Amino acid sequence: MSTDCLFCRIVAGEIPATVVRETPTTLAFRDIDPKAPVHVLVIPKEHYADVATLGQGDPALAGEVLATAAAVAEDEGLLGDGFRLMFNTGPYGGQEVFHVHAHVLGGAPLGPMLA
């Protein structure tokens, strides 16, 4: 837990979030500034800065993040039409919050790539 990490503070309940799914190791909550009709962020509760660090440091936990993302997509009715699962990573990847998070985006055609 990092006290200066926004998403660790959401895990700790210090900052409110609209939680849509929780497991012992992961949390899914709605993005505060949605870029699609459905925009949910899925994080491991344990702090990892980005998906590269998580994937190499704890591949099993990375798999749990993917499983929660898939469950969210199912809950939100996205499995039929499809959805986008995205990890922005580092400055060139457009990452702004350095606690790894998967964006689950859907509910409308998203085009070939997000700007």
Contacting positions for ligand 5GP (CB under 6 A)? 6, 15, 17, 29, 31-33, 88, 94-97
Binding partner of 47, given ligand 5GP, Zn ion, none, CB within 5-8 angstroms per partner class: Zn ion
- Triad 20, 90, 104: Cα angle to 5°: 25
The question of whether 39 is a catalytic residue gets the answer no
| Cα 89 to Cα 24: distance, rounded to the nearest angstrom | 25
5 lies in the site for Zn ion, by CB under 5 A: yes
Which of 39, 99, 101, 103 is catalytic? The answer is 101
8 lies in the site for Zn ion, by CB under 5 A: yes
Residue 19 pairs in a beta bridge with 29
Distances in whole angstroms, Cα of residue 48 to Cα of each of 63, 101, 111? 14, 9, 30
47 lies in the site for Zn ion, by CB under 5 A: yes
Residue 38 pairs in a beta bridge with 106
20 lies in the site for Zn ion, by CB under 5 A: no
Instruction: Name the residues annotated as catalytic.
Output: 101
